[in-house]
Amino acid sequence: MRIGELARRSGVSERSLRYYEAQGLLRAERTPGGHRDYGEWAVDRVVRIQTLYAAGLNSKKIAQLLPCMRDTDGRPNEIATRELVDELTAERDRINRLITDLVCSRDVLDEVIDMASESAVA
């Protein structure tokens, strides 16, 4: 598929897809005319990249992680190093701390809303 179709199907801009390719996160074959040509696997790969960015990982970390993951085509990938596993565990722990902090903030906000609602009714 061409870059425009991949952008449409993945919900990511063509500019972002070119950036992913420049960062080594995504690869494309080239047509004889020089156009990028992606396989069906690319949609899943782009969604994974977006998910990892949303989790707070940077492109360097994502580039390390992607070879350890399987795409929907099920092809085998490289084995993760112990160092990468440790780094990813630290990232997961950081995300869990953020989730805990956000839940605490939400609980405080809920309490303030409840108290304000009682005052507004009175």
Model pLDDT, residue 63? 87
Residue 25 and residue 63 in contact, taking contact as beta carbons nearer than 8 Å = yes
**Residue 57's pLDDT is what?**
87
**pLDDT for position 101:** 96
Q: What is the pLDDT of residue 77?
A: 55
Q: What's the pLDDT at 71?
A: 60
Give the DSSP letter of residue 120. H
* pLDDT of amino acid 68: 76
Q: What is the pLDDT of residue 120?
A: 77
Task: Determine contact, residues 57/65, Cβ cutoff 8 Å.
Answer: yes
The pLDDT, as a whole number, for residue 49 is: 94
| One pLDDT digit (tens) per residue for the chain, 122 residues | 999 999 999 999 999 999 999 998 998 999 899 999 999 889 999 999 999 999 888 898 888 888 777 665 555 455 667 787 788 888 889 989 999 999 999 999 999 999 999 887 76
Torsion of CA 89, 94, 96, 99, to 10 degrees: -160
For residue 108, the model assigns a pLDDT of 96
DSSP 24-65: TS---EE-TTS-EE--THHHHHHHHHHHHHHTT--HHHHHHH
Q: To the nearest 10°, the Cα dihedral for 40, 43, 46, 52?
A: -110
Q: Extract long-range pairs of 67-72: CB within 8 Å, 24+ residues apart.
A: 71/41, 71/44, 71/45, 72/40, 72/41, 72/44
